[in-house]
Amino acid sequence: MKTLWLLRHAKSSWKDSTLADHERPLKKRGRKAAVAMGRLLAGLTPFPELVQCSTAVRARETWQIVADAVAQQRERPAVEFLEELYHASPETMRSIIANFPSAVEAVLLVGHNPGLEEFVWETTSTETDVPTAALVKIEFSADSWTAAAASGKGTLAGVWRPQDQD
């Protein structure tokens, strides 16, 4: 079995209208939510062995804060930053998933809506709200990531939202 974790970036700021969308940072509320979600993630299983994160500033900041919170309880997983995850479509996400190393059992993608919600719907046939900083767990009954991506079908095993962590 393979486990895919999805984490939507935390709440970002629109304060500086001169910034390109890719460059928008987190709001204070977003940073607080990311800490809560990092503490939560540290206690969940199977813990991600690999993280692939969008290159957008808000996604990278989210991962950094989550990783810092995780590091208080366990070792940080390896992280790779992928331009392709910036507003990735479900098709792009499946392509990325197909290339995960076979030996890795659990991976976390840090990305954006609407792609994350669309991916959850297409993969699990479950309409799920994925607000900022929400964490989703999808399980695939496949022996490889290539097979998981090819089948395109998984089971929604959990959704955790920051507002539920207070």
Mean pLDDT of the chain: 96
Give percent of the chain with pLDDT exceeding 90: 96
Q: How many residues does the chain have?
A: 166
Q: How confident is the model at residue 5 (pLDDT cuts 50, 70, 90)?
A: very high
Q: Which domain holds residue 143?
A: 2-12+20-164
Q: Above 70 in pLDDT, residue 93? A: yes
On whether the CB atoms of residues 48 and 32 are closer than 8 A, the answer is: no
Q: Above 70 in pLDDT, residue 155? A: yes
Q: Domain count of the chain? A: 1
**First vs last C-alpha separation in the chain:** 31
The average pLDDT across 16-35 equals: 95
Q: Above 90 in pLDDT, residue 166? A: no
pTM of the model: 0.97
Q: What is the spatial distance between Cα 49 and Cα 33, in angstroms, rounded to a whole number?
A: 22
CATH, residue 126 = 3.40.50.1240
